[in-house]
Amino acid sequence: MKKNKWKIGFFILLGIIAAVIIAVWVLIASPVEETKIEPVPNQSDGDDVAFNVSTNKRDLNRVINHYLEEEAKNSQINYQVLLTEEVELYGTLPLFSQELELRLTFEPQALKNGDLILKQRSISVGRLNLPVSTVLKFVRDSYDLPAAVNIQPKEERVYVSMQRLKLKSNIKVRVNEFDLKKDNVKFTLLVPAD
């Protein structure tokens, strides 16, 4: 009789654990709400002077992270971007009393209007790969990102509206090429002439 009580208790405990795992999975895998951003149409550049710039990943890494540091001064969450063969975002996720390491990788694509799309390649928290849309939604809701950066979880991408970036002296940026494998990054700086 005692053996049966232990067996029954074991199976009840096993059922509770399975139910919790299934409930957590349903919550993680459920669709997320999202907002869409429409690209700003190209404005007349009659009063802007265009400077074509060609750079490499190393120099662009320094500029991007300096810009992100300035934008996220008031944020509780730290993150940084690293350009390698792809765009990598490293950060932390607060979970209970721990900070979990987060790594997102993207494939960049320059658009004709000068904006940039970062197509999601992988997401991991620690060594665990997670559902892309869920983590992108969490990052969108948790990180203090610049207004020009729009995370679109459903499309599994990040839309960077270069025309909405707020740079000093009202300088605008248009991405012409963004080929990280060939270390070929070209963009145009539009500087107001008035």
> Which residues neighbour 146 within 8 Å (Cβ) at sequence distance 6 or greater?
67, 68, 71, 165, 166
Q: Please tell me whether residue 37 adopts helix, strand or coil conformation.
A: coil
Can you tell me the mean pLDDT for 148-162? 88
Greater confidence, 53 or 139? 53
Q: What is the pLDDT of residue 26?
A: 67
Q: What is the pLDDT of residues 63-119, one digit of tens each?
A: 888 877 776 666 656 678 889 999 988 887 666 777 778 788 899 999 999 999 999
Q: How far apart are CA 115 and CA 148, in angstroms?
A: 10
Q: How far apart are CA 166 and CA 62, in angstroms?
A: 18
Tally of residues, the chain:
194
pTM for this predicted structure: 0.66
Q: What is the pLDDT of residue 170?
A: 81
Per the structure block, which two tokens stand in for 140? 């969108």
